Amino acid sequence: MAKAMDSVLAKGKFRGSMLGSLIGDCMGAPYEGEEFSHGLKTMVRKYFDKLDGPYFSAPFKPYTDDTAMTKSVAKCLIEKPTPLDVKYLAKLFVQEYFLEPRRGYGAGVVEVFKKLRKNKFEDLQRPAAEQFNGSGSYGNGGAMRVAPIGLFFNGNYEAMIEAAERCTRITHTNSLGVNGALLQCIAVHQSFQLDPKEKLDVTKFADELIAKMEIIEQDQSGIVDPNEPTPPYKEQLLKVKELLSCDDPNDPIVEEEVIGSLGNSIAALNSVPTAIYCFLRAHSEIPGIETDNAFRRSIQFAVNLAGDCDTIASMTGAISGAYFGDSCIGETMKKHCEYHEEVTQLADKLYEASLIK
């Protein structure tokens, strides 16, 4: 909890998570939409090895919608702390989009922005609810921007869940889109509360997520029937646990198996559990990733997966950074990302705001 936690550690975790989210976005963006291949994996490895080397000069990597929207969530919490001012936040999202529309936004979400602007933010619910013939988006756009909420509401779980849900519903109303954002938020929150000097119990971390998602998924479906199929996020998290437990050093789990089992797509259900897996898997060595730095390992593994890898790596980085703090982030890697100084300042302001909320 923030008040009990040493302030230097807490501040470092805010920075780590916000920077992790930025770095994953910037490092993954060049490969977004590609298919996994061993050629791509080699290319990613060479780039990350250079970043860890003594000197490496290259143009910085630009951020995408993942960071543009995360930035707005952090700003909203800093300027108008609690309860989350969704009207103000919707305005920030829309402003940011029209200022820089070419940041790789999801095809559907742009419709929501246009409708919100047209209705002058008087009706915040309908544009998102109308998406995809009324079923709402199941994309990972809610999850990719939720990290500041998981950090800010440390120590107040109910307020955090409520804020994460309201933040997501501005653009995503499908229960898979909403619950994916809640899962990502809870993962950041859990990571934040742990001491990075103690060895992480990866099974316990996954079990705690399963227990919390069980409550969330049950609440929506009403009374639990033991004959009902396992709810979707619980099922994905059970697969995360299984992948972790059957990882044999002599026959390691490879990218193809992770993609085949959990997914690497734009759907929240096939990307949030994947990001959680990347974070947890990176606590031990991964063949082909030559580093002692578990933060780098988690990001590199996520980028390797290709598919929606800017978003998967960004969500991985948010969880990893909330656990390890910013001291574990390599300077060169950070400096190759557009906006890293601004994100650091934003993280500091978010931390200050979280103390007085």
Residues engaged in binding ligand R7I (CB under 6 A): 64-66, 104-109, 132, 135, 137-141, 144, 174, 266, 308, 310-311
By CB under 5 A, residue 108 contacts Mg ion: no
Taking the complex as a whole, how short is the minimal distance between the CB of residue 176 and ligand R7I, in angstroms?
A: 8
Residue 141's identity, in one-letter code, is G
Q: Provide the sign of the torsion angle of the four alpha carbons 208, 209, 210, 214, taken in this order.
A: positive
Q: Token pair of 158, please? A: 């109910």
Nearest CA-CA partner of 192 in 241, 240, 161, 153:
153
| Cα–Cα dist 61/112, whole Å | 28
CB neighbours (10 Å) of residue 354? Answer: 21
By CB under 5 A, residue 255 contacts Mg ion: no
By CB under 5 A, residue 308 contacts Mg ion: yes
Taking the complex as a whole, how short is the minimal distance between the CB of residue 177 and ligand R7I, in angstroms?
A: 7
Are 349 and 147 spatial neighbours (Cβ–Cβ below 8 Å)?
A: no
CB neighbours (10 Å) of residue 344? Answer: 17
Of 103 and 169, nearer to Mg ion (C-beta) is: 103
Of 206 and 266, nearer to Mg ion (C-beta) is: 266
Are 353 and 84 spatial neighbours (Cβ–Cβ below 8 Å)?
A: no
Of 270 and 300, nearer to ligand R7I (C-beta) is: 270
184 binds, among ligand R7I, Mg ion, none (CB under 5 to 8 A by kind): none
- Residue window 54-93: x/- pattern of binding to Mg ion, with contact defined by CB under 5 A: ----------xxx---------------------------
Pick one of 104, 232, 288, 330: the residue that binds Mg ion (CB under 5 A).
104
Are 25 and 67 spatial neighbours (Cβ–Cβ below 8 Å)?
A: yes
Are 17 and 321 spatial neighbours (Cβ–Cβ below 8 Å)?
A: yes
Only one of the segments 107-115, 242-250, 300-308, 341-349 lies at the binding site for Mg ion (rule: CB under 5 A); that segment is: 300-308
**Contact positions vs Mg ion (CB under 5 A):** 64-66, 104, 308, 310-311
